Amino acid sequence: MGSFFNPLTFNSTTYVDALAIQLGLFQDRMVGETSDHFLDRLYSAAYNKRDHTLEGTINNISYQLGLSLQAGIVVTPTNPLTVITVSVGRITFAPASGSPLVIPTVSISPDDMWEWRSLSDVVLDINNLSSGALTATLQIPDALAIQLVPQCSLKCSVAENVVNTTSQLNNTGIVVGSELFNVAVPAYTITTAGALTFASSPPAGTTISYMYNMSPFILTCSPVSVINLMDPALQDTAVCPDGSLVYQVREFNQQILTLDSCYWG
């Protein structure tokens, strides 16, 4: 038995640590981190992509630093097929017909610096410039719009099982004409609401893949910002009026060239 003057070492591993051991992440617990916070990080590590894609990179850095992604702005279009795309420096709202609306999230100062707008200003522009076609609501305390991660409301469902003559697909906002079946199927109709009806029973094992648009769409914000230098949006948002690059991107390029001289060509 230990005492105040002669303490003994006891195993203080919690149930959360036991779960971390099973996931191979026991060593990832940060100094002073509570069990609740560590459990949240374990859930994110288990369910979120942490590969070398842009999404995976953001998720992995956020996990390593103990940070969380948040639902930043909810946008509700009157037309559920309006495609919403967030890229570097702008948000694009492309309706099913007509011209897209582009809301800038950054501007270039006279001294060639990126100046990021606030999320509240972006929300104000969406509501005021969309002529009632869009409604945006800020869900978090105001911050700079650099926290908006690249994302798109247009998604893809792959190999969804179809069993009956009449089926309701798992998603709505279907892009009619994008559907593909794995086998030849009878004549059918499909609606944007996800109702699929065949003239006769489909073959056993039939699956359908299709594009669909999420509406309302939640714009995700992250305290970790990752910029892809191959993003086509940089051609507009990172080039100054005189044709030079903004200061931040020049610094990014200089750092890359310093680390890997093969880019000097």
| Confidence tier at 12 by pLDDT (50, 70, 90) | low
Encode pLDDT of 33-83 as tens digits. 788 877 777 777 776 776 777 777 787 787 788 778 899 999 999 999 999
Task: Give the predicted TM-score (pTM) of the model.
Answer: 0.79
User: What are the domain boundaries of the chain?
Assistant: 15-65, 70-152+216-258, 156-213
Encode pLDDT of 193-237 as tens digits. 999 999 999 999 999 999 999 999 999 999 888 888 788 888 889
Q: Which helix (H) or strand (E) holds 107?
A: strand 106-108
On the question of pLDDT at 172 being above 80, the answer is yes
* Sheet order of strands, 70-77 included: 134-138, 70-77, 217-221
Rounded mean pLDDT, 125-139: 97
Query: Residue 254 carries which side chain, given as an amino acid letter?
Result: Q
Report residue 33 as tokens: 């981190």
For residue 148, give the DSSP letter. Answer: B
